Amino acid sequence: MSLPEEVGLTEGSPVEIVLTTYSFNGRPHASAMGVKARGKSKVALSVFTNTKTFQNLLRSKAAVINIVRDAEFLVSIALKDLLGFNETTLKFKKSEHVNAPKLEGADTYVEIETEEVEKAKISDEVGISEVAYITAIIKNIEVLNPSVHPFKRSELFIIESAVLATRIREALKNDRKEAAEKLFLELNKYRDKCRRIAPHSRELNLIARIINSLKSEMGR
């Protein structure tokens, strides 16, 4: 079995991945989030407790970390309801080592089982939320595509834009309109940066879609 660092999982910085779990009815569920390695045999995740992902993890105690190299695909899953991503187009297959689905087409699978869950309240500019800090044991790592893929700067911009969009929506949900406006201005700066380096890119179009969808939610 490969080591976490061999597939890009490190302790120093979170890696953006697609986490797949089973819902209570046995239906596969996918969400995008960050994950860090914890030593050579464990990973650490931070999951909001009001999400389907957390409920699935709490019940099944298992998940698969799917490492993908398509930043646009990752962002589409992260903002699926905002961007109108059709979840039914995703295809899954059973895992061999844990009770969780694997996402077909991923480059690497890291099958995990939860070991420890600690809940905590966090408070920041977007409001007060409850987060679960989860430590999970790596049961198996399967590498399907070991090729190196250098991310373009425009791809990094859409990942950051997705993070900002998530925070803006959380701020709106908590009636923190001033915080949402501040984050929205930051999001627009990422669009401007992307326009400067990749004016005709798919990434710029995606950021524009995110901004236009958020304008509607913000009542603009």
Phi and psi at 90, nearest 5°, equal -75, 140
Q: Give residue 149's pLDDT.
A: 62
Written out in words, the top-level CATH class of the domain with range 4-143 is mainly beta
Q: Give residue 145's pLDDT.
A: 85
Q: Give residue 117's pLDDT.
A: 97
Do residues 75 and 206 touch, judged by C-beta distance below 8 A?
Answer: yes
Q: What is the mean pLDDT of each run of 10 residues along the chain (220 residues)?
A: 85 91 96 94 96 97 95 95 93 97 96 97 92 97 79 91 96 95 97 95 95 93
Which of 33-38's residues contact partners 24+ apart within 8 Å by CB, and which partners?
35/9, 35/65, 36/9, 36/10, 36/11, 36/12, 37/4, 37/5, 37/9, 37/10, 37/11, 38/11, 38/135
Question: At 14, is the secondary structure helix, strand, or coil?
Answer: coil
Q: Give residue 189's pLDDT.
A: 96
Domain segments of the chain as ranges: 4-143, 153-217
Q: Give residue 148's pLDDT.
A: 54
Do residues 12 and 105 touch, judged by C-beta distance below 8 A?
Answer: no
Alpha carbon of 34 to those of 9, 45, 54, 104, 181: distances in Å? 10, 7, 14, 20, 25
- pTM here is 0.88
Q: Give residue 54's pLDDT.
A: 98
CA separation for the pair 162, 160 (Å, rounded): 5
